[in-house]
Amino acid sequence: IRLNDQGRLEFDRSKFSAQYDLDPAAVKTFFTAEDVGFSARAKAVADSLAGVENGALLQRSNTLTTQIETNSKRISALETRLNKQRERLLTQFYNMETTIARIQQDLSALNQLQIIPPLTA
């Protein structure tokens, strides 16, 4: 039994059969020994990966949760900042439109003035 490059366990039937034919008791001990057998080692590996308290998957999940929370806070801060900038730009635009309207009114008033011819003596 070995772990391949893809992280999967592979079982070599021919090696197993050869070893079993040679010493069946040793094969049985390999699989069933409480402290050093395959089942004990497999359980230890599984616990280290998916254990309830310190498993790698739990730690990865906690890390991802923290990253999600951090990103959510950043998004919220950026949204607040963008909303403030939007309001500021809208206020500037409104003020600009008001100024343009006043200038147009002044120009219209100036265009309505009639030129008074100069007085000649």
Q: What is the pLDDT of residues 22-43, one digit of tens each?
A: 888 888 887 777 777 777 777 7
Tell me the C-alpha distance between 46 and 54, whole Å: 11
pLDDT at 96 over 90: yes
Tell me what pLDDT residue 94 has: 98
Q: For residues 40 and 32, is the Cβ–Cβ distance under 8 A?
A: no
Q: pTM for this one?
A: 0.51
Report the phi/psi class of residue 7: left, alpha or beta, with left for phi > 0 and alpha for psi in -120 to 50.
Answer: left
pLDDT at 121 over 70: no
Tell me the C-alpha distance between 76 and 92, whole Å: 24
Residue-averaged pLDDT of the chain? 86
pLDDT at 106 over 80: yes
Tell me what pLDDT residue 1 has: 66
CA proximity to 59, closest of 101, 25, 39, 51: 51
More confident of the two residues 52 and 94: 94
Query: If you average pLDDT over residues 1-16, what whole number do you get?
Result: 77
pLDDT at 100 over 90: yes
pLDDT at 76 over 90: yes
